[in-house]
Amino acid sequence: MSLFHADCYSPDDMVMHPRHRAMQPVLVQLIQQLRDCGTVEAGVELQRALLTRLLDVEKDRWEFKHAATRMRKGKQPLAEAPEPQSGRDPSDIATWRFEHDVCERLARQLRSVGDALAWRVFGFHRPFILALCRNQSPGPMYGKAGLPAELEHFERACKEEGTFALLHDLTNCLRIGDITVWDSVHPPRTEEIKTNPKNSRSAQLRRINQARAAVLDGGPLPGDNASELLYDLDLPLRTHLDVLRNALDRAATDGIYATPVLGSRALFVVDQYACAEQGMSAEQFNERYQHAVDGALQRAGIAAGREDYNIHVTSLDSTARDPLRVPWANYPLHPVACARLIGDYAVATVETSGPILTRLLQATGMDARWVRPPGKADLQPGEVIMEIHHQERLRSVALPGGLTMTPGWTLQMRRSELDRYLMELLQPGTWVAGINHVLAARQAGQPWPHYRNEHEIWV
């Protein structure tokens, strides 16, 4: 399903918009500012810079939406509405919808830097993100009734109390609570800020307490399913992110680069700046891209049956949509490369074959089966793609009639786990060892595994 209004604009229209192009150097500066943060004051100043830019973008977004609403009712946009910068006809309602969508995209790009800050201040300890992301996105900051109270609490915590506070609305991944505060003694404390102290939002407070208990005490993750638990793999994370870094460097020169990756995967990267510098026509681009992709698929051993069984993940317009993904600004890449991925001026796609990936697990002795039906349909959230059955062969139980029952259980792999294997380019050995670790632990329910030492991987 397309993320764009087909009758309004294309992905190329989006990245060529002046506002969108102007965001690239801003993102580079913010990412560098993030990486230079070494003090509480620096982290606070970064949030203030993000807040200013985010509110500006969201204000314009609201104005564009209001203008489109007026035009739909047969009225003209208000005189104070921001001027469209796309060069399109301002008398066409599609122009105002396009400008609104540009601002929506830019707001997500800014929040992706806020996500990167969140990962950093939580010490890249993924359980905090897994626990605090389990709500619907709260929506824009601009015009939010409780924002003044949150900002007052933020400033008081940082200035008067000498602690560090993080505004959740500057992120996409922190969706439970309004603010998290760090001091030098206690674990991070997530709080709900009430405009009226007499009003109690018991549901939100309950989710905050659930998230805290899930991370610190091993309780269930927030939600209605008490079987969803964090699971410490007690294994270090190992990746092939050096392959991604090299691919981005090559694409920045050649425009298109594709390569196999260990573990039955192929990586394709397109850099729009380099393609434009080479003056590629659409026909030339398609020809070169297909040639590069076909070669990488062949070398990865996943070319056969591609139409029915291959599956892929992409960076295209994914920024700050999925709170489970590590933000691009945390990847061990140059800030310019991170900004290009955030803004879709560089697009990375990783592809694998489901059945061949299953055979990778079978080769280690696992009873793995690819259960996703053949076809081209996009992966859906929560979709089960693979099942791995485990039998307790040493615990067989004799039944009447000469039958024997062997206790066992099935581990179901869903989209988020495959997304990690592909987009984070986990080393095959690390990925297989993690699955074996979960199986060997015999943990009931729905475990959410996480590796150790992620602070050694992300920036």
User: Which one-letter amino acid corresponds to residue 398?
Assistant: A
Q: What is the CA angle 222-223-229, rounded to 5?
A: 60
Closest C-alpha to 450, from 120, 209, 132, 215: 215
**327 lies in a domain?**
yes
pLDDT in tens, 207-254: 999 999 999 999 999 999 999 999 999 999 999 999 999 999 999 999
**232 lies in a domain?**
no
- pLDDT of residue 441 exceeding 70: yes
φ, ψ dihedrals at 458, nearest 5° = -90, 155
- Return d(Cα 292, Cα 285) in angstroms, integer: 11
Q: Are strands 408-414 and 384-391 parallel, antiparallel or unpaired?
A: antiparallel
pLDDT in tens, 18-59: 999 999 999 999 999 999 999 999 999 999 999 999 999 999
- Return d(Cα 372, Cα 357) in angstroms, integer: 13
Segment holding 384, helix H or strand E: strand 384-391
Tell me the C-alpha to C-alpha distance, in Å, between residue 45 and each of 23, 51, 182, 339, 429. Answer: 19, 10, 16, 20, 41
**275 lies in a domain?**
yes
Do 274 and 252 meet the contact criterion of CB atoms below 8 Å apart? Answer: yes
Say whether both 188 and 258 belong to one domain: no
- Return d(Cα 167, Cα 180) in angstroms, integer: 7
Say whether both 59 and 133 belong to one domain: no
pTM of the model: 0.93
φ, ψ dihedrals at 249, nearest 5° = -65, -45
- Return d(Cα 360, Cα 59) in angstroms, integer: 50
Q: What is the pLDDT of residue 400?
A: 59
- pLDDT of residue 445 exceeding 90: no
Say whether both 447 and 364 belong to one domain: yes
Taking phi over 0 as left and psi of -120 to 50 as alpha, with beta for the rest, 164 belongs to beta
User: Which one-letter amino acid corresponds to residue 29?
Assistant: Q
Q: CA torsion angle for 302, 304, 305, 309 (degrees, to 10)?
A: -10
- pLDDT of residue 413 exceeding 70: yes
Q: What is the residue range of 434's domain?
A: 241-456
Say whether both 103 and 132 belong to one domain: no
End-to-end Cα, the chain, rounded Å: 33
**211 lies in a domain?**
yes
Tally of structural domains, the chain: 3
φ, ψ dihedrals at 207, nearest 5° = -70, -35
Say whether both 79 and 149 belong to one domain: no
**140 lies in a domain?**
yes
Locate all alpha helices (DSSP H) within 305-381, ordered by sequence.
306-309, 335-343, 354-362
Residue where one domain finishes, among candidates 59, 88, 121:
121
Q: What is the pLDDT of residue 202?
A: 82
φ, ψ dihedrals at 239, nearest 5° = -135, 170
Three-state helix/strand/coil letters over 105-122: HHHHHHHHHHHHHHHHHC
Say whether both 330 and 267 belong to one domain: yes
Residue where one domain finishes, among candidates 87, 121, 155:
121
Segment holding 148, helix H or strand E: helix 147-159
- Return d(Cα 357, Cα 116) in angstroms, integer: 30
Say whether both 387 and 452 belong to one domain: yes
Say whether both 384 and 444 belong to one domain: yes
pLDDT in tens, 320-345: 999 999 999 999 999 999 999 999 99
- Return d(Cα 376, Cα 406) in angstroms, integer: 37
Say whether both 290 and 432 belong to one domain: yes
pLDDT band at 187 (very low <50, low <70, confident <90, very high): very high
Say whether both 254 and 356 belong to one domain: yes
Tokens describing residue 181 = 């505060």
Say whether both 47 and 140 belong to one domain: no
**235 lies in a domain?**
no
Taking phi over 0 as left and psi of -120 to 50 as alpha, with beta for the rest, 136 belongs to beta
- Return d(Cα 46, Cα 327) in angstroms, integer: 16
Residue where one domain finishes, among candidates 197, 226, 255:
226
Say whether both 408 and 289 belong to one domain: yes
Calculate mean pLDDT across residues 352-361.
Answer: 95
**233 lies in a domain?**
no
**62 lies in a domain?**
yes
